[in-house]
Chains A and B, each alone.
Chain A
Amino acid sequence: MIEKMMNPALTQLNVVASDWRDAIHKAGAPLVKAGAVSQNYVEEIIHSVEQYGPYFVIAPHVALAHAPSDAGAQHLAMGITTLKPAVVFNNPDNDPVKYVFTLSAPDSNSHLKAMQELVELLSADSFYQILDQAQSPDEIMQYVQENVAAEKE
């Protein structure tokens, strides 16, 4: 399921960002281009962080950038952006952020299976190794396909 939300065009490696706002803009850009989210959705993510703090930095070095569906989530998609160097999001427990997963979910339940798979991916050390070492987005896509498929067997 999650492999259908991802694709190489939504995946960017070793992106340089000047601060967390720049990181969110850059992480969101491919999803805007692909029509998965509106530009407003990206602005809403930034606005929400300004208002509430970095509520989506969910684990050490991991951000799940997202906003409420009605901010402009148009179809189900997951972008992956690795940041190099890592960027401070002002979340003292989990800073600095190295991996930004940008989620577009038009409703709150259709992506349950995909999120289960993301939890499993993020619970495996080998996933971070491939995120750190991959030379191209295709290598990450291949890892995801192999590992998500392996869980089903």
Chain B
Amino acid sequence: MVKALVACRAGVGSSLMLKIKLNQVIDEQGWDMEVEHSSLDELDSFDGPIVVTLSDVADDLKNEGIKKEVVGITNILDKKEIETKVGAALDKIGAK
């Protein structure tokens, strides 16, 4: 079971919608993943390997040098984009 955190600035809107869409993709793909959502403030206490967020937030996190696999999504309604990018992250950590 791979743990992923969906995070956004506020933790009440975009991250929740992205989590809903990501869970649809996980069901369709049969990935062994568990998804939480929160604001970025809670990022430090998250112990899983993957963080999924909007692309501009992802750029900031990568610039900060965060030690997680960071996935940035441009269109959170686009299941294909989510599948491709999160799938690549799973490959990278050897979980697929």
Complex contact B56–A58 (CB within 8 A)? no
Which residues of the partner chain B approach A7 to less than 8 Å between Cβ atoms? none
Which listed residue (A48, A68, A116) contacts B12, Cβ 8 A? A68
Query: Once bound together, how far apart are the Cα atoms of A56 and B46, in whole Å?
Result: 22
- Residue B20 interfacial (CB < 8 Å): yes
Binding site for B on A (CB under 8 A): 48, 52-56, 58-60, 62, 64, 66-69, 73, 91, 93-94, 103, 105, 107-108, 111-112, 115-116, 118-119, 122-123
The verdict on B57 contacting chain A, using a C-beta distance below 8 Å, is yes
Given that A52-B9, A55-B8 are contacting pairs, would A64 and B75 also be in contact in the complex, using a CB cutoff of 8 Å?
Answer: no
Nearest B residue to A65 via CB reads B13
Kindly state whether residue B86 has any CB partner on chain A within 8 Å: no
Q: Are A66 and B12 in contact (CB under 8 A)?
A: yes
User: What chain B residues lie within 8 Å of A48 (beta carbons)?
Assistant: 9-10
A7 smallest CB distance to B (angstroms)? 19
B14 neighbours in A (Cβ, 8 Å): 55-56, 58, 64, 66
What's the minimum C-beta distance from A107 to chain B, rounded to whole angstroms?
Answer: 8
Contact yes or no, B13 A56, CB < 8 A: yes
CB of B52 to closest CB in A, whole Å: 13
Contact residues in B for A115 (Cβ distance below 8 Å): 13, 16-17, 20
